[in-house]
Amino acid sequence: MSRIRFRASRSAGEVSAAITRPDDARWLVVLAHGAGAGMTHPFMETLAERLAAHGVASFRYQFPYLERGSKRPDPPPLLEATVRSAVEAAAGVAGDLPLLAGGKSLGGRMTSRAAAREPLEGVRGLVFFGFPLHAIGKPGIERADHLDDVDVPMLFLQGARDRLADLTLLGPVVERLGAQATIHVVDAADHSFHVPARSGRSDGEVIDELAAETARWAAKL
């Protein structure tokens, strides 16, 4: 793994990024973190490791608010600008690897918002590790309205117990998007992709499933 810094925006300055690239890499995914934990959260680090095991390099990065130690997310325009800057920075280190982009929860949604506003140069698909369709206890699909404007394929990796994405609502959204969208549901997993002990699986095995599914989906693009 190597680390670099890149400019998130003219006003926000530089943020950190971590690159994990296996020798047999076939893709590079630009990964944004969730709202409450940065790129060094155990989920993000394990995901990068498991993606590498399946031939997918990763470019994890920080949003400005966590880089400066704040817990309050930046306004959406700044988050989206950081997504675009991260894709540009990742392209500079990717070499001949084709790009994917996405992230965990908030990070995935901000990536899709940026792509809906204007295509992310060089990005062939978006991957959502727990798309946050709505707030807990407030079901709705308004957060998915912009997805109709995304012009690349999308992969939704969702936990069956995700309280931020009622599958009875997300399923029709995916159907509406047609061939552009694919959904993979992880049995017994919540929004953090944690599974209870009675499931007979570990969280690490679930993350490996996410990585393997990402690699399988990318191979068909």
Q: With pLDDT > 90 as the criterion, what percentage of the chain qualifies?
A: 98
Contacts of 174 (CB under 8 A, 6+ apart): 156, 181, 182, 183
**Domain limits for position 34:** 2-219
pLDDT (mean) for 187-192: 97
pLDDT (mean) for 162-175: 97
Band (pLDDT 50/70/90 cuts) for residue 218 is very high
Q: With pLDDT > 70 as the criterion, what percentage of the chain qualifies?
A: 100
CB count in 10 Å sphere of residue 23: 6
User: Can you give the CATH number for the domain in which 109 is found?
Assistant: 3.40.50.1820
Q: Report how many domains make up the chain.
A: 1
Q: Measured between alpha carbons, how far is 145 from 1 in angstroms, rounded to an integer? A: 36
pLDDT confidence of residue 85: 98
Q: Measured between alpha carbons, how far is 84 from 114 in angstroms, rounded to an integer? A: 7
Q: Measured between alpha carbons, how far is 126 from 121 in angstroms, rounded to an integer? A: 12
Band (pLDDT 50/70/90 cuts) for residue 207 is very high
pLDDT, tens digit, 9 for 90 and up, residues 18-62: 999 999 999 999 999 999 999 999 999 999 999 999 999 999 999
pLDDT, tens digit, 9 for 90 and up, residues 80-136: 999 999 999 999 999 999 999 999 999 999 999 999 999 999 999 999 999 999 999
pTM exceeding 0.75: yes
pLDDT confidence of residue 196: 94
